[in-house]
Structures are given as C-alpha cells and as structure tokens.
Structure 1
C-alpha cells in the first residue's frame, strides 16, 4: 500500500490496530493460563473482554466514515510483542517471576496500543472524523486504564513476590 495522504495513513493505522486487537484476542487466553497470581489471571481475562469490545469499536469507527474500509493488514509490531511475551513464558516457570515478566510484556503491548490509538485519534480529528475520534478515544482511555491496572498490580503484589 503506497500511502499518499493522511486519509490513507488513517486507514492503514486503523487496519493495523484491527489486526493487533485480533492477535491479542488469541494471546490473552494463553497469558491467563500462564499466569500464577489470581489477580493477574483475572486482569488478563477482563482485558480479553475489553479487547473484543475494542474490535467492535474499530468496526464502528470505520462504519462512521463512508469512504473507509478496514483492510487485511498484519500488525507486525503486535506480532513481535506477543512473540516476545510467549518466549518469556516458555523460559520461566509458572510463578511470581513469570508473572512479573508477563506484566512487563503486557505493559509493552499497552504502551504500543496507547501510541497507536493516540495517533488514530489525532488523525481522526485532523480529518474531521469526529464520530470516529470519539469511538477510538474510548479505546485509548481503556488502554491507559489497563496499563495503570497492571502497574498497580505489579507494585502491590507481583513484583514483591518475585523478589
């Protein structure tokens, strides 16, 4: 895809976000099974539900713009982050150390998603896609909240137990 305009960039980034969220719907159940701490297991399960809603929002955002269609584009950045997390799982025993590492891996994903949705919101505003911006801003808010939740979980419990 040869990108020549902000609109085409928006479509590309929205398509990548869609791919990334789909990849996360497959990764999060594995992460929940690999986690030891019950609060971390619950956090991954809750984020899976949120991620399914985020996929629906991407579709709504695209539907709010008549000339936009999400394309089948793979998000290689998300694929790499997930692969890195999987390697961490495979190289650690189930328990507090793995949990601490998984929180770090999950936060890398959250920070990537925060950057991605922040960019999408700004582009949507620039392009006059007001409804799409509102929809994507909901997801941005959720991603920031998920990152905050992981930070609190690490500080309150998990990192200390890995100790």
Structure 2
C-alpha cells in the first residue's frame, strides 16, 4: 500500500486498514517471539518473552473479535514497519556473541516492537471512538494497556539487570 492509498478515503477505511496492518504485525510477532525466547539468556527476559507470547495470542483473538464487531473478516495486510523492526532485530542478534550484550539487544528490539504496537493501538482506539465504536475501542484499549505494561516490564528488566550485566 502506498502512503496515501486510493483505497483509503474515509476514517473507517483507515481504521480497517490499520486493523489489518496490526493483525499482520501480531501474527509476525507471534512467529518471532519463540526465537527470541530461545536466544534470551536472562531468566527474567526469557519469562517476559514467554508471557508476551501468551498475551500476543490473546491479542490476535481480540483483534479478530474487533474485526467481527466492525462487520469485517479478519485479514492481514503486509506491514513493512514490523517487517523492518523484526529484520533489524534478527540482524543485530545474529552479530552479538556475548550473551549479556545479546540480552540487551533483544530487550531493545522487543521495546521497538512494543512502541510500534502502542502507537497503532492508541490510534485505533481513538479512531474507534470517533467512529462511534466504543465497543471496539474498549477492546483495543485493553490491548494498548497490555502493550504499555509489557514495555514497562522490559524497561525494568533492562535497567535493573540486563543492561548492567552487558556493561
């Protein structure tokens, strides 16, 4: 999709497209997290990734419910942003030999994913409210809060353990 696609004419079109975008992103994250779990050395980081994998599965189901509530079938459209974030994480992780530094890199990569998700879910929840879809907004806001909580957990893990060990 081009930046200003001819297919997006209304806020509703933008809302549906962005749902499709984040649906794709969540599916990619669901595929990538097991690799990150395997690479993580820090028990706290590994546990954090495992918890987020379970949350991600729930978020995919929640998105499917939002699609249904909005009268749409769940559909993914390629999200170049998440593909780029994941590709960069894989490249960096492949170059780091020291496990403590690798954990710091994995933590930073996971936070890049979280920040992308936070921006998308924040916009989607706001647009849902503007479209009079408070039912959808509530579900999207629930996911937004989970993403924020995950980001805070990752920050704590990084600042209290992972970054210190890497230094």
Which TM bucket (shorter chain)?
over 0.9
Mapped to 1, the partners of 2:23 and 2:114 lie a distance apart of 15
Mapped to 1, the partners of 2:120 and 2:76 lie a distance apart of 17
| 1:65 shift after superposition | 1.8
Equivalent residue in structure 2 for 1:98, among 94, 102, 107: 102
With 147-156 and 87-96 compared, the bigger mean Cα shift is at 87-96
Contact 2:68-2:74 at 8 Å conserved across structures: no
| 1:94 shift after superposition | 5.0
Count of residues in correspondence between the two structures: 162
Mapped to 1, the partners of 2:80 and 2:60 lie a distance apart of 17
| 1:71 shift after superposition | 2.9
Counterpart position of 2:23: 18
TM-score between both structures, scaled by the size of structure 2: 0.94
Mapped to 2, the partners of 1:91 and 1:138 lie a distance apart of 36
Counterpart position of 2:52: 47
Mapped to 2, the partners of 1:65 and 1:112 lie a distance apart of 23
- Runs of 4+ in structure 1 off by over 4 angstroms are none
Counterpart position of 1:58: 63
Counterpart position of 2:125: 121
Is 1:83 the counterpart of 2:87? The answer is: yes
Unaligned runs of 5+ in 1: none
| 1:69 shift after superposition | 3.1
Unaligned runs of 5+ in 2: none
